[in-house]
Amino acid sequence: MALELGIKLAVENHAGDMQGWELAMLIEKAGPDYVGACIDTGNPLSVVEDPAVTLKHLAPYVDSSYFL
């Protein structure tokens, strides 16, 4: 439906949910043509991941960002 409407969904690396590699895997399985990542640089700390590592995994999929 997203492809038909010409929109792309951006899933946030939300606090406590997944590390960067897990979200990258989810995006790959869902289809990176219509699902990407919304990066929040503070959220990796809640899953004990360095924000630089998160960005390394998600950089190819980033469509938006959120900085608190």
The 10s digit of each residue's pLDDT in 50-60 is: 999 999 999 99
Task: Classify residue 19: in a domain, yes or no.
Answer: yes
When computed from its CA atoms, the radius of gyration of the chain, rounded to whole angstroms, is: 12
pLDDT reading at 16 higher than 70: yes
**pTM for the complete prediction?**
0.86
pLDDT reading at 61 higher than 70: yes
Task: Classify residue 54: in a domain, yes or no.
Answer: no
Task: Classify residue 64: in a domain, yes or no.
Answer: no
Q: What is the pLDDT at residue 31?
A: 93
Q: What is the pLDDT at residue 68?
A: 61
Task: Classify residue 3: in a domain, yes or no.
Answer: yes
User: What span, in angstroms and rounded, lies between the C-alpha atoms of 3 and 40?
Assistant: 25
User: What span, in angstroms and rounded, lies between the C-alpha atoms of 43 and 12?
Assistant: 9
Give the max Cα distance, the chain. Answer: 38
Task: Classify residue 67: in a domain, yes or no.
Answer: no
What would the mean pLDDT of 2-14 be, rounded to a whole number? 89
